[in-house]
């Protein structure tokens, strides 16, 4: 299987869906002629032209809202937020319009829109540019949210997101764009709501999403090599819908769980997972569920400190050792 970058996998997914469905249109700041601020849309404007790949002014509320409106008429807009951090400018459109219109119309309307872009800290761009709003989105029934951790997942989830008939938020990661994974040449999709075991293990379950999966995998390697502990790594992939069954299955297998989450701890995704484990397989637990989250403060700029604000391999290992 060819090795391709997370960026290229997304690019391929977008290109394939543009070709597959004439209603798919990409839109966002600098996505066309500039090839995207992070080059995810590289070459697409050249290939597909002005109608399918559209540069927008810096008007997030306007163009995201416009995409939601257009989706009500059957257009399938794939809207890029240069950073998910800029979604707050368009928050009313995303939460109130994309999130609620189906319910409030008694099911008469649906919004097949994708809103995508990077949502991560760790690049020293300061508090305004480092948000991870997947927990906020997941807190809104009516919206879906996925956080791919590998190129393979990024491509498969993006294609499914575009074909989905509800609003789907795809949260990517600038630190993963340049990383490569094996991706098959033949077409595939990954259903929303299906987690993936990225590493089998028996002693403890490391449950994560997005780049935290990569951090968890590194921790699992060290746990095995240096401590003889076999950690299973479960990648949630999709936050809402959530693969509840896979979570319970791994916890019932290992009887211990460490949740790794780049969200802040208060009402982060891992808080929900933790509560579900407690409710549904309390008797299976041999130790309290542990969490490793971002340190609870706005994202610090200082390049010397930001790396320790996000979950580190070291913190995962020490949390794991505490319960084994």
Partner 1 sequence: MPSPTEDEVAVDPVDFSKAEVNANLTPDEKMGILRQMLRIRRFEQVSLKYYNQGAMGGFLHLYIGQEAVAVGTVSLLGKNDHVITAYRDHGHALSVGMSMNECMAELLGKATGCSRGKGGSMHFFAPDKNYWGGHGIVGGQTPLGLGLAYGLKYHGLKGCALCFMGDGAVNQGAYHESLNLAALWKLPVVYIIENNKYSMGTTLDRSSAMRNCLAERADGYGIVWDIANGEDLYEVRAKTANAMRRAHEQSLPTVLEIDTYRYYGHSVADANAKKYRAADEIERYKTHHDPIRLWKKRLLEEGVTTDAAMDAMDNEIKLEANASAEFALASENPSPESIFEDVYWEVDNNTEAGNTGRHFFGD
Ligand X SMILES: Cc1ncc(C[n+]2csc(CCOP(=O)(O)OP(=O)(O)O)c2C)c(N)n1
Residues in contact with partner 1 by the rule CB under 8 A: 29-30, 33-35, 37, 39, 55, 57-62, 85-86, 88-89, 123-129, 261, 264-266, 270, 290-293, 295-298, 300-306, 308-309
Cβ-based neighbours of 197, under 8 Å, separated by 6 or more:
232, 233, 234, 235, 246, 250
Residue 255 annotated to the active site: no
Residues paired with residue 235 on neighbouring β-strands, in sequence order: 196, 208
Nearest approach, Cβ of residue 19 and ligand X (Å): 28
Q: How far apart are CA 51 and CA 186, in angstroms?
A: 27
- Closest CB to partner 1 among 59 and 202? 59
CA distances from 165 to 143, 162, 286 (A): 11, 8, 41
Classify the C-alpha dihedral 12-50-39-212 as positive or negative: negative
Among 1, 19, 58, 127, binds ligand X (CB under 6 A): 58
Nearest approach, Cβ of residue 123 and ligand X (Å): 14
* Residues 266/296, Cβ–Cβ less than 8 Å: yes
- Closest CB to partner 1 among 46 and 200? 46
Residues paired with residue 116 on neighbouring β-strands, in sequence order: 80, 170
Binding-residue pattern over the window 68 to 97 for ligand X, x denoting contact by CB under 6 A = --------------x---x--x--------
* Residues 204/320, Cβ–Cβ less than 8 Å: yes
Considering only CA atoms, give the Rg of the chain: 19
Residue 60 annotated to the active site: yes
Catalytic residue among 29, 60, 172, 232: 60
Catalytic residue among 17, 29, 80, 129: 129
Nearest approach, Cβ of residue 21 and partner 1 (Å): 27
- Closest CB to partner 1 among 225 and 297? 297
Q: Which residues bind ligand X (CB under 6 A)?
A: 29, 58, 60, 82, 86, 89
Q: Which sequence positions are flagged as catalytic?
A: 60, 129
């Amino acid at each position: 299987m060819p090795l391709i970058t997370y960026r290229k996998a997304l690019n391929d997914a977008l290109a394939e869906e543009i070709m597959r469905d004439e209603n798919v249109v990409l839109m966002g700041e600098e996505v066309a002629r500039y090839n995207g601020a992070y080059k995810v849309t590289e070459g697409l404007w050249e290939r597909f032209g002005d109608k399918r790949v559209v540069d927008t002014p810096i008007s997030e509320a306007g163009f995201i809202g416009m995409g939601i409106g257009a989706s009500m008429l059957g257009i399938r807009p794939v809207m890029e937020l240069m950073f998910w951090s800029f979604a707050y400018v368009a928050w009313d459109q995303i939460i109130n319009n994309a999130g609620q219109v189906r319910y409030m119309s008694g099911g008469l309307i649906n919004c097949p829109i994708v809103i995508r872009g990077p949502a991560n800290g760790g690049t020293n761009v300061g508090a305004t540019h480092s948000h991870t709003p997947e927990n906020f989105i997941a807190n809104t029934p009516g919206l879906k949210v996925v956080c791919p951790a590998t190129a393979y997942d990024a491509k498969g989830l993006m294609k499914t997101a575009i074909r989905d008939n509800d609003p789907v938020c795809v949260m990517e990661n600038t630190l993963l764009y340049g990383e490569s994974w094996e991706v098959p040449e033949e077409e595939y999709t990954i259903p929303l709501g299906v987690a993936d075991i990225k590493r089998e293990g028996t002693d403890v379950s490391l449950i994560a999403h997005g780049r935290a999966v990569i951090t968890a995998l590194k921790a699992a390697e060290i746990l095995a090599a240096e401590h003889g502990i076999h950690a299973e790594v479960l990648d949630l992939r999709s936050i809402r819908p959530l693969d509840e069954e896979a979570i319970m299955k791994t916890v019932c297998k290992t009887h211990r769980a460490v949740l790794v989450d780049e969200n802040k701890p208060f009402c982060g995704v891992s808080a929900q997972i933790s509560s579900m484990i407690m409710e549904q397989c309390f008797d299976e637990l041999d130790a309290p569920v542990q969490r490793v989250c971002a340190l609870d403060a706005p994202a610090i700029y200082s390049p010397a400190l930001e790396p320790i604000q996000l979950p580190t391999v070291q913190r995962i290992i020490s949390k794991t050792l505490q319960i084994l």
